[in-house]
Structure 1
Amino acid sequence: MSTVASTSPAFRRALAPMVACAALAAMLGGAFGEGADAWQWLHWIAKPLATVLVIVAALAWPPITSRYRRRIVVGLICSLLGDVLLMWPADLFVAGLVAFLIGHLYFISGFLGDSRLGTRPLAWLGCLLLAALNLAWLWPSIPPALRGAVVVYALVLAAMAAQALARAWVHAGDVLARPARRAAIGGALFMLGDSLLAWDRFHGALPLAAVWVLGSYYAAVWFIARSVARDDGMAGVMQASTA
């Protein structure tokens, strides 16, 4: 998977403010879109646009490995599909959940390229415990028909965050430290954003939910996308791993 054509330093520097502007528009549209067509249209346009720009960012920098970038980009594309499904006028919550779940599996696959599954058990224990506590609090409010899907998704999300954290732990002292740390921050923010979304949907409306949910979500996918980029001193370190 080659990088996008325009990868000049100026273009790369412009990506962060472009993502921030699109994300802010999506948050404002989501916060004020109830009953206001103009705001709702802003949300519908800006929400997927922000994720598209995040995908462009994942393609714009030289990657730590081609294999890692492929898996992260596919995961981000699944997240884009989930974005669209969750904001569709019809109730496609389960379909959106499945799209995000597949995306997390691709993220995990990417993280496993340079770290073993289940390494650093404390990271796994912490993430799974947080997922279990969140499910326990929300359980009475989750419709019975959705409980199975929500449990499976919560476990996969926790596994993604745990593997990202464990990978950052493993690479804390080597050339992958900064990219792995970005992925770990992204995984943690994904758990936060989806927890807020679940509380807003199942437990009770959160004030300015669109701001908190989308803000943490876009920060999460941005950090995961930026984890693709190698640091200046990494050129050639892992390029043999392209399978």
Structure 2
Amino acid sequence: MSAPVAPRAESSVPRAPALSRALLVALGIAVAVDLVSLLAGAELGHRIAKPLLMPLLAAYAATKGAPKLLVVALLFGWGGDVFLLSDADWAFLVGMGSFAAGHVCYLVLFGRRRTSPALGALYAVALVGTVALLWPDLPAELRIPVAGYSLLLTAMAYRASSLGLLAGLGGALFLLSDTLIATGVAEWPQPPAPDFWIMLTYLAAQCLLATGALRAMYGESRTTV
């Protein structure tokens, strides 16, 4: 059973309910614009909305007294989002590096709380199997970076479960989202509107990770995303 995060004193939690609600509404609008734009093929809407998503979520989390590592992890996600708007190979690598830095922040945030060994074994099998299947179809220069990133991402997804069901589900969805990106890079067959599904699972992942971390600190009443 995982050790709970020690709750902070009541006075240490910033009190800005109006600001929190405004940020949450703004985040909801940005999410809706981004996802609808992807479904409609409106590239401009996606390019406008996507860079707003993680800063709004990070700002919301900050108003709820989030630890700095959570805010920094979300902002590294913002860096990855921005760089992945470009189709250049160098931008893909920089964006992947930014996401990797965010996963390191998450891993430090999760600490040494216990997680299920059986779940760890499942994630290990998924990691090895996915990398082995993707390897021949990935561009040669991306194979080692993708394998290294996949290891870090899988570790984050596994360790996220130490904060409870919501964070654990967030970690799993993050893994799913990035796996969809990797299959696209490998030029595997894609589902209809693949960018929509990538963003949907990614946004759900980040929101669930943030909510799970906040609830581990303060309980359910303060931390609805």
TM-score band, normalised by shorter chain: 0.7 to 0.9
Q: Is residue 2:193 matched to residue 1:208?
A: yes
Map 1:18-167 to 2 at 5 A.
18-33=26-41, 39-63=42-66, 69-91=67-89, 92-112=91-111, 115=113, 119-165=115-161, 167=162
Q: 1:192-236: CA deviations, max 9, x gaps?
A: 11111222232234311121100000011111122332335899x
Q: Is the 8 A contact 2:14 2:65 kept in 1?
A: no
* Distance in 1 of aligned mates of 2:128 and 2:74: 25
Q: Normalising by structure 1, report the TM-score.
A: 0.76
| Runs (5+) with no aligned partner, structure 1 | 34-38, 64-68, 169-179, 236-243
Supply the AA of the counterpart residue of 1:181: L
Q: 1:95-154: CA deviations, max 9, x gaps?
A: 111110111011000001x515xx532222111211222222222211111000000010
2:146 is paired with a residue whose SS is helix
Q: Is the 8 A contact 2:70 2:106 kept in 1?
A: yes
1:206 is paired with a residue whose SS is coil
Q: Is residue 2:20 matched to residue 1:12?
A: yes
Query: How far apart are 1:17 and its partner, in Å?
Result: 4.3
Q: Give the superposed CA RMSD.
A: 2.6
2:16 is paired with a residue whose SS is coil
* Distance in 2 of aligned mates of 1:11 and 1:95: 33
Query: How far apart are 1:81 and its partner, in Å?
Result: 0.1
Map 1:178-217 to 2 at 5 A.
180-202=164-186, 203-217=188-202
Matched positions, count? 207
Q: Is the 8 A contact 1:186 1:219 kept in 2?
A: yes
Q: Is the 8 A contact 1:57 1:225 kept in 2?
A: no
Q: 1:161-194: CA deviations, max 9, x gaps?
A: 11112x14xxxxxxxxxxx332212111101111
1:207 is paired with a residue whose SS is coil
| Runs (5+) with no aligned partner, structure 2 | 1-11
Q: Is the 8 A contact 1:199 1:206 kept in 2?
A: no
Q: Is the 8 A contact 1:200 1:206 kept in 2?
A: no
1:227 is paired with a residue whose SS is helix
Map 1:224-235 to 2 at 5 A.
224-229=209-214, 230-232=217-219
Q: 1:44-100: CA deviations, max 9, x gaps?
A: 11011111111122112144xxxxx11111111111000000002533111111110
Instruction: Specify which structure has the bigger relative contact order, considering alpha-carbon pairs within 8 angstroms and separated by 6 or more residues.
Output: 1
**Counterpart for residue 238 of structure 1:** none
